[in-house]
Amino acid sequence: MTRQGPEIQKIDLDRFNQVFFEECGEHLAEMEQILVSLGDAEPDDEQLNAIFRAAHSIKGGAGIFGFQDMTVVTHVLESLLDKLRTHEIPFSTSMIDQFLEAGDVIAMQLAGHRDGSEVNQAAVDQIRTGLQQVVDGCASAPTTTDLPQETVVPDNDAAPADQSLHCYELTFRPDPDIFKRGVRLENLLAELEELGALTVHAQVSDSGDFSAIDPEACVTSWRFSLETGSSEADIRDIFEFVAEEDQLDVREIGAGDAVQGQAPEQQKNEGSASTAAASADNDDTLQIGRRTYDKNELAPAAYGRRTNETESTIRVGVTKVDQLINQVGELVITQLMVSQAAGSLDPVLHENLHRTLLQLERTTRDLQQIVMSIRLVPISIVFSRFPRMVRELAAKLGKQVELKTIGDSTELDKGLIEKITDPLTHLVRNCLDHALETPDVRVAAGKEPCGTITLRASQIGGRIVIDVIDDGAGLNRAKILAKAAERGITASDAMSDEEVWQLIFAPGFSTADAVTDISGRGVGMDVVLRNVQSMSGRVTMSSEPGKGTKVTISLPLTLAILDGLSVAVGDEKFIIPLNAIIESLQPTAESLHTINGKNVVHVRGDYIPIIPLYELFNMQARVTEPDKGILVLIDVDGEKAALLVDSLLDEHQVVIKSIETNYRKVDGTAGATILGDGRVALILDVGSLLQMRKNLTTPSTL
């Protein structure tokens, strides 16, 4: 049983299905690309791991969204790949065709959920059985018939001799822009002829003046006569990427009927000749087993599938967005330079110029806000994936679980959103399978029968922090050490708890007693660490026996919009996040005191330590005495401090850029930004500043 709060019940997961469809398509494309590139060669470990991760991600995503039929083949495929990775069974080149056919079956199931197309369950069962036989130790296994990318059609050569034949008449009236969409009619004719005897008749519209015809426009309609043992649904599947429902008519006719305008024998000869020309070998195709790939059209929409002109979203590469953001930043700087140059001109004599510059400033500011917001999306997009998964897995495991989310509106960079989904999925599944106890065990331990998983996101001092918290049994230190010794991982009882917890992230490490479709393969926490580290992030764990476990993911802000206060220290400028500032003041001599050799300021009954920024960053400052400078009071998780600066400058909405990428790591900073005058200002990480002050031995240098 799963209990969920009101916020969780309002979530409509249907709007996130498209994300899974796109991600699944990308994983399938990656698998196929690797397999096709192998030829007859044996894949190396990295290639096997990549295929394994793709299959594992497809299975996990399918389970989250309730597409359980897609987990049947992927689970067996994953088991076989796992045995190949661990060298439990030898690799054979025949497996490449099996893996490709398995990808076709998964793509067919995906198309069934996405487009409602027909799914051949016999093909699914056949490829699953074949893969399972290899897993169980058979030397070889039967393969399925040749499968098109999104459906399965019968192999006509293997059809029974007494199979009943049907004769269909097809009328196809395409859009004029069909050729502009990349549709190749010879490919269409080739697929139709694979179903049976085909005759073709083309009807050119009466245009009057042929010199006025657009060579890129289609002015032809077609009538086909097809004698086949396939069904009408099989025929329509061929036109799935080409025609709308009102552009294709299919009707069954008598076997003796013929397409009007030509004798049957002539039609058959011309149709066969046309199809033979379409099927001729050329240098643009790649043959692997029974599968033929067009090198120029290795894509599911090779026929130029019609798209809905009203689609509201497009997918754009992150690199292009980054380039756009950088160019807008340059535009802002240029606009400010022009404005400063025009400021010396007489506003009366140059009234039109000043008015135009004001309009340019407003337009540039609006453009900057729009572009900057392109990559910022709320983390609720990720959090909303989990309620259904938690409910279904909890029921499957016989547990009662409540999922809570905090900080759903926290905005992250789009790149972070895409990369953080997989690690969070593994963490939540581990909470359900390993951490939370069954109701009877919880009651015996004096707990509520319903366990709790909390997902919490926040922005702390310029870093995104995501916590995955459970109130389960906590980590078992002895069991982790025993598993580490069993796997040959260096460990000892003298290790601290924090060091022991880090053993969980070792590749292939798992404390599960048995492999299930939920966990136990040792890939979950390894994926978490690898993905987070690829984002220059950190993963920490804390656990208390009987109380629960907290996994914290801390990510640097590669890109985010931040409201900050700019301050001056010597010749440098710094940005302090506004959400950490309590107030700013100029202290009197009477409010300043020294306690244990440290300067503090007395503010409304509190003695707050003073942190001179010039000391932390080893700088020359114009003001070194607190009563002659400005103190900016900050608060970090209830801990207060006063930053000593020379002066306050202005409030800004700034874009955080990674300073590590462009320079190097600077302690006490969360990034950098470019100010209106083109200068670079460091953004302070106030939490890090407090820690630096406590552990200060040598000052940080710029």
Contacts of 63 (CB under 8 A, 6+ apart): 71, 389, 392, 517
86/386 Cα distance (integer angstroms) = 31
Question: Does the fold of domain 559-694 match that of domain 2-135?
Answer: no
Secondary-structure breakdown of the chain: helix, strand, coil percentages, each rounded to the nearest 5: 40, 25, 35
Q: What is the pLDDT of residues 125-174, one digit of tens each?
A: 888 888 888 888 754 444 443 333 333 333 444 334 344 678 888 888 88
Give 15's pLDDT tier (boundaries 50, 70, 90). low
pTM for the whole structure? 0.44
Mean of the pLDDT values across residues 620-636?
86
Listed by start position, the domains of the chain span: 2-135, 156-294, 318-374, 380-556, 559-694
Q: How far is Cα of residue 414 from the mean position of the Cα atoms in its chain?
A: 9
Contacts of 26 (CB under 8 A, 6+ apart): none
Category of 238 on φ-ψ map: left (φ > 0), alpha (ψ -120 to 50) or beta: alpha
For CA atoms 584, 585, 591, 595, the dihedral sign is positive
Contact 574, 567 (CB under 8 A): yes
Output the pLDDT for position 467: 93
Token pair belonging to 474: 């906590």
Strand partners, 248: 172
Kindly state the helix (H) or strand (E) to which residue 405 belongs, with its residue range: strand 400-406
301/242 Cα distance (integer angstroms) = 9
Which of 182-186, 428-432, 638-642 is predicted least confidently? 182-186
117/148 Cα distance (integer angstroms) = 13
Contact 449, 443 (CB under 8 A): yes
Strand partners, 468: 455, 551
Which residue in this structure is represented by tokens 């689609």? Answer: 311
Secondary structure letter of residue 434 according to DSSP? I
Output the pLDDT for position 75: 84
| CB-count burial class (<10 Å; 0-12, 13-18, 19+) for 658 | middle
Contact 493, 574 (CB under 8 A): no
287/95 Cα distance (integer angstroms) = 16
618/35 Cα distance (integer angstroms) = 56
269/275 Cα distance (integer angstroms) = 10
197/268 Cα distance (integer angstroms) = 7
Secondary structure letter of residue 596 according to DSSP? T
Token pair belonging to 142: 């039967």
Among candidates 589, 608, 586, 590, which has minimal Cα distance to 599? Answer: 608
Contact 595, 608 (CB under 8 A): no
434/342 Cα distance (integer angstroms) = 66
610 vs 525, which has greater pLDDT?
610
Distances in whole angstroms, Cα of residue 647 to Cα of each of 196, 226, 633: 84, 84, 14
Using only C-alpha atoms, what is the Rg of the chain? 33
Contact 434, 453 (CB under 8 A): no
Beta carbons within 10 angstroms of residue 1's beta carbon: 13
Output the pLDDT for position 559: 59
Q: How far is Cα of residue 57 from the mean position of the Cα atoms in its chain?
A: 11
- Residue 700: φ, ψ to 5°: -75, 150
CATH assignment, 559-694 = 2.40.50.180
Mean of the pLDDT values across residues 610-620?
87
Overall size of the chain counted in residues: 702
Q: Helices (H) and strands (E) in the chain — how many of each?
A: 21, 25
Task: Please tell me the CATH superfamily of domain 380-556, with its number.
Answer: Histidine kinase-like ATPase, C-terminal domain (3.30.565.10)
Q: What's the mean per-residue pLDDT of the chain?
A: 75
423 vs 177, which has greater pLDDT?
423
- Asked if the model's pLDDT at residue 13 lies above 70, the reply is no
Token pair belonging to 530: 């690898």
- Greatest mean pLDDT among 433-442, 478-487, 554-563: 433-442
- Greatest mean pLDDT among 445-459, 538-552, 556-570: 445-459
Assign a CATH topology to domain 2-135.
Answer: Four Helix Bundle (Hemerythrin (Met), subunit A) (1.20.120)
Contact 319, 337 (CB under 8 A): no
Q: Which CATH number fits domain 156-294: 3.40.50.620, 3.30.70.240, 3.30.413.10, 1.10.287.3240?
A: 3.30.70.240
